[in-house]
């Protein structure tokens, strides 16, 4: 299939490129670069749109590899003209947040540093720690990333002890609150014993801690302590006193000596090598270091531009009260005045961005830079170890490509395995390796639903066929659904087993008309032999060669994941009672029945009249219990 002129990259159509560049005006605004699938790859701003966009297609030898790759893919350029540079900066930030273009990711999300999330999008917001910052819901608020995960967990735990907050992501019981409600640690969110508005007021107080407003929280606790003492509730007063002491100890040894301790300021600096830049941002409130945030970026831009992007992304979702009145930066920002004006408007007070050169503020910059250098050194040490693992993995991928005679190195490999005990609690696992490394976010469990697979009768062939049918059912039902090139579509499927297991999977894929677009192999356990569809003999391979070892790691991970899920299902079954399946029979009534009849067998033999004699069991429920054990 030949690409049309409109879907060809602009670099391959010079005439259309020149015409498009000529249409872009020399005014301030935002530009959007799209690929041949109409996806936004990059969003940028400029004081003069035409000059900035034209620069991407000139002097290619001065561009980074990232920009060179992007330019080769650009098939269309859009632009939005604004009245001022300030409007362009604000519009760029909003569009990047909305579309999350691939080539706009200056800051790396390597899950190294944790964030704190408050899910304001929910009626009863949750407070939890996460390693990944996602902008799927606009109202959710992220704080961080924090360099000290232990301290972050300590602060979150302290907040949950101080304030009555929801302690569980899911309710423990359906019809009543758990013990946390009786202890005063939770306001009964699961049963909606507190209104969303009242609960959100509590969460707003917790947010003050992560906004650097800890002193206000301490004032609230001090008042509570005094009230408890006046009521002669000395135990409660002592507990609150310890909580206040804990909050004060978080910043007691982090005093930063500055002549104007009343000023709120953020200080940001970086250290960089040829590949990476480590950025540290110190949050100082009233002379105390209340937060130390860390970022990692590609060292492809000027230091000032990197700091500019860090500050733009950091303050993008910040409330006005969180923005300091003074920001100290290590390098001059390209658009520092514009950023300061935007932050001033959001805060409602003057925000100043300074690049100090001497005296106390310069010493503070040096301290932040020194912390960034230590972090960079640690990253380099870890990078050397990772480079060795990456090289070994690359060799394994190349070897596997050669073994299976694949046209390209498989990006996504899926492995499947079955686990059961004589057919009981049969489950399956799907594990995914991306570029030879485990991608646990794509792992999946399956409970085998085949009615012929029961305790005492196992069928691995039928179980694997069922799992593969369920995995790829949506592609069979919708032939128009994209397959090749889809991130969810595997380049290679590995089945744990021999020729029989492979044949059962191949059969179901043939029935679904998907076999032509999928490459399937199996790995037998005994001799680590690789089988291909339609081949009676395994491939001639060595069990210790890199490509086979990669498949073995995939197979072992699929086996581990399946066995752990099977054990969980078996454990849950042992904990369950048949009485749990009777509607209306809660935990308390089950205890009364067992206390009266001593065993489930005696309950099964009882008549409705005998069942109704138990306290709390009325005639109607007694009849339901009897009907459950004696179905017509």
> In this structure, what CATH number is given to the domain that contains residue 76?
3.40.1440.10
pLDDT at position 545 over 70: yes
Q: How far apart, in whole angstroms, are the C-alpha atoms of residue 520 and residue 509?
A: 10
Q: How far apart, in whole angstroms, are the C-alpha atoms of residue 63 and residue 66?
A: 8
Which residues, 6 or more positions from 125, have their beta carbon under 8 angstroms from its beta carbon? Answer: 118, 119, 199, 200, 203
Q: How far apart, in whole angstroms, are the C-alpha atoms of residue 622 and residue 513?
A: 53
Q: Would residue 85 count as lying in a domain?
A: yes
Q: What's the CATH number where 361 sits?
A: 3.30.420
Range with the poorest average pLDDT among 8-17, 55-64, 255-264, 505-514: 255-264
Q: Is the same domain home to 315 and 422?
A: no
- Reported as type and span, the H/E element at residue 447 is strand 444-447
Q: What is the mean pLDDT of residues 537-561?
A: 90
pLDDT at position 459 over 70: yes
Q: How far apart, in whole angstroms, are the C-alpha atoms of residue 499 and residue 52?
A: 59
pLDDT at position 5 over 60: no
Q: Would residue 126 count as lying in a domain?
A: no
Q: How far apart, in whole angstroms, are the C-alpha atoms of residue 442 and residue 176?
A: 35
> Which tokens hold the place of 260?
């104007």
Beta bridge partner(s), residue 270 = 279
Q: How far apart, in whole angstroms, are the C-alpha atoms of residue 297 and residue 275?
A: 9
Task: Name the E strands within 223-379.
Answer: 265-272, 276-285, 288-298, 326-329, 352-354
* Strands laid side by side in the 326-329 sheet: 288-298, 276-285, 265-272, 326-329, 352-354
pLDDT computed for residue 328 by the predictor: 93
Q: Would residue 205 count as lying in a domain?
A: no
Q: Would residue 211 count as lying in a domain?
A: no
Q: What is the pLDDT of residues 208-239, one digit of tens each?
A: 888 877 777 788 788 888 988 888 888 888 87
Q: How far apart, in whole angstroms, are the C-alpha atoms of residue 285 and residue 485?
A: 50
**CB-CB contact of 432 with 493 (8 Å):** no
More confident residue, 151 or 277: 277
Tell me how crowded residue 201 is: count the other CB atoms within 10 A of its CB.
Answer: 11
In 3-state terms, what secondary structure has residue 533? coil
How does residue 466 score in pLDDT terms, banded at 50, 70 and 90?
A: very high
Q: Is the same domain home to 548 and 624?
A: no
How does residue 69 score in pLDDT terms, banded at 50, 70 and 90?
A: confident
Largest CA-CA distance found in the chain, in angstroms, rounded: 92
With DSSP H G I counted as helix, E B as strand and the rest as coil, what are the percentages for the chain, rounded to 5? 45, 15, 35
Q: Is the same domain home to 355 and 430?
A: no
Q: Would residue 216 count as lying in a domain?
A: no
Q: How far apart, in whole angstroms, are the C-alpha atoms of residue 478 and residue 472?
A: 10
Q: What is the mean pLDDT of the chain?
A: 83
Q: Would residue 246 count as lying in a domain?
A: no
Q: What is the mean pLDDT of residues 599-628?
A: 87
Q: How far apart, in whole angstroms, are the C-alpha atoms of residue 57 and residue 52?
A: 10
Q: Is the same domain home to 566 and 434?
A: yes
Q: Is the same domain home to 519 and 624?
A: no
Q: Is the same domain home to 44 and 81?
A: yes
pTM: 0.53
Asked, as a colleague might, if the bond just before 145 is cis with ω within 30 of 0, I would say: yes
Q: What is the pLDDT of residues 481-502, one digit of tens each?
A: 777 667 788 999 999 988 889 9
More confident residue, 243 or 265: 265
- In the chain, the number of structural domains is 4
Q: What's the CATH number where 468 sits?
A: 3.30.420.340
78, 104, 130: which is the final residue of a domain? 104
Q: Is the same domain home to 343 and 450?
A: no
Q: How far apart, in whole angstroms, are the C-alpha atoms of residue 348 and residue 98?
A: 25
Q: Is the same domain home to 368 and 452?
A: no
Q: What's the CATH number where 625 sits?
A: 1.10.150.20
More confident residue, 125 or 58: 125
How does residue 456 score in pLDDT terms, banded at 50, 70 and 90?
A: confident
> Which tokens hold the place of 206?
């917790």
pLDDT computed for residue 3 by the predictor: 41
Task: Name the E strands within 539-599.
Answer: none
Q: Is the same domain home to 461 and 555?
A: yes
Q: Is the same domain home to 426 and 525?
A: yes
379, 402, 423: which is the final residue of a domain? 379
Which residues, 6 or more positions from 456, have their beta carbon under 8 angstroms from its beta carbon? Answer: 422, 423, 424
How does residue 1 score in pLDDT terms, banded at 50, 70 and 90?
A: very low
pLDDT at position 34 over 70: yes
Q: Would residue 118 count as lying in a domain?
A: no
86, 104, 122: which is the final residue of a domain? 104
pLDDT computed for residue 249 by the predictor: 63
> Which tokens hold the place of 461?
């062939």
Q: Would residue 325 count as lying in a domain?
A: yes
Range with the poorest average pLDDT among 54-68, 162-176, 542-556, 561-575: 54-68
Q: Vertex 368, ends 367 and 369: CA angle to 5°? A: 90
Question: Distance from CA of residue 543 to its chain's centroid?
Answer: 36
How does residue 297 score in pLDDT terms, banded at 50, 70 and 90?
A: confident
How does residue 246 score in pLDDT terms, banded at 50, 70 and 90?
A: low
Q: Is the same domain home to 423 and 540?
A: yes
Q: Is the same domain home to 625 and 554?
A: no
* CA-based radius of gyration for the chain: 31
pLDDT computed for residue 351 by the predictor: 92
Closest CA relative to residue 281, chosen from 113, 423, 524:
113
pLDDT at position 86 over 50: yes
How does residue 417 score in pLDDT terms, banded at 50, 70 and 90?
A: very high
Residues of the domain holding 597 = 578-629
């Amino acid at each position: 299939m030949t690409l049309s002129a409109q879907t060809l990259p602009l670099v391959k159509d010079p005439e259309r490129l020149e015409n498009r560049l000529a249409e872009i005006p020399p005014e301030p605004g935002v530009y959007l670069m799209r690929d041949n699938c109409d996806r936004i790859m990059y969003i940028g701003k400029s004081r003069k749109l035409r000059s900035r966009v034209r620069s991407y297609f000139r002097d290619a030898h001065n561009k980074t590899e990232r920009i060179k790759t992007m330019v080769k893919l650009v098939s269309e350029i859009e632009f939005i003209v604004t009245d001022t540079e300030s409007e362009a900066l604000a519009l760029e930030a909003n569009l990047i947040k909305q579309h999350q273009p691939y080539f706009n990711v200056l800051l790396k999300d390597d899950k190294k540093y944790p964030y704190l999330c408050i899910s304001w999008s929910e009626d009863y917001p949750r407070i939890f720690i996460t390693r990944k910052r996602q902008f799927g819901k606009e109202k959710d608020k992220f704080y961080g990333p924090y360099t000290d995960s232990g301290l972050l967990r300590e602060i979150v735990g302290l907040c949950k002890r101080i304030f009555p907050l929801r302690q569980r992501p899911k309710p423990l019981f359906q019809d009543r609150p758990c013990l946390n409600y009786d202890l005063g640690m939770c306001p009964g969110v699961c049963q909606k014993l507190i209104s969303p508005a009242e609960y959100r007021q509590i969460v707003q107080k917790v947010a003050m801690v992560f906004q650097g407003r800890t002193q206000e929280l301490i004032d609230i606790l001090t008042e509570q302590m005094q009230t408890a003492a006046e009521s002669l509730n000395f135990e409660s007063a002592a507990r609150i006193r310890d909580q206040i002491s804990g909050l004060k100890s978080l910043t007691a040894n982090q005093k930063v000596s500055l002549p104007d301790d009343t000023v709120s300021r953020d200080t940001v600096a970086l250290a960089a090598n040829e590949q990476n830049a480590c950025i540290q941002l110190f949050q100082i409130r009233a002379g105390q270091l209340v937060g130390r945030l860390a970022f990692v970026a590609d060292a492809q831009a000027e230091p000032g531009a990197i700091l500019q992007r860090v500050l733009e992304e950091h303050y993008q979702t910040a409330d006005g009260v969180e923005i300091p009145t003074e920001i100290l930066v290590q390098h001059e920002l390209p658009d520092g005045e514009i950023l300061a004006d935007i932050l001033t408007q959001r805060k409602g007070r003057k925000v100043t961005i300074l690049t100090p050169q001497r005296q106390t503020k310069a010493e503070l910059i040096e301290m932040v830079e020194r912390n960034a250098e230590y972090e960079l050194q640690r990253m380099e040490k870890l990078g050397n170890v990772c480079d060795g693992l990456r090289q070994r993995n690359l060799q394994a991928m190349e070897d596997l490509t050669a073994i299976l005679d694949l046209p390209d190195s498989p990006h996504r490999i899926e492995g499947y395995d079955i686990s059961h005990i004589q057919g009981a609690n049969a489950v399956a696992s799907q594990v995914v390796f991306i570029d030879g490394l485990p991608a646990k976010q794509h792992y999946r469990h399956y409970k085998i639903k085949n009615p012929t697979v029961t305790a005492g009768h196992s069928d691995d062939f039928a179980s694997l066929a069922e799992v593969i049918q369920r995995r790829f059912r949506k592609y069979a039902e919708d032939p128009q659904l994209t397959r090749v090139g889809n991130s969810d579509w595997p380049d290679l499927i590995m089945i744990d087993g021999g020729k029989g297991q492979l044949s059962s999977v191949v059969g179901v894929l043939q029935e679904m008309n998907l076999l032509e677009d999928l490459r399937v192999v199996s790995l037998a356990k005994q001799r680590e032999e690789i089988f291909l569809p339609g081949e009676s003999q395994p491939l001639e391979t060595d069990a210790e060669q890199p490509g086979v070892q990669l498949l073995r790691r995939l197979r072992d991970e699929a086996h581990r994941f399946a066995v752990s899920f099977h054990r969980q299902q078996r454990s849950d079954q042992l904990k369950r009672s048949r009485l749990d399946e009777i509607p209306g029979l809660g935990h308390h009534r089950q205890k009364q029945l067992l206390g009266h009849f001593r065993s489930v067998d005696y309950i099964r033999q009882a008549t409705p009249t005998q069942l109704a004699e138990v306290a709390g069991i009325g005639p109607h429920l007694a009849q339901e219990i009897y009907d459950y054990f004696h179905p017509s």
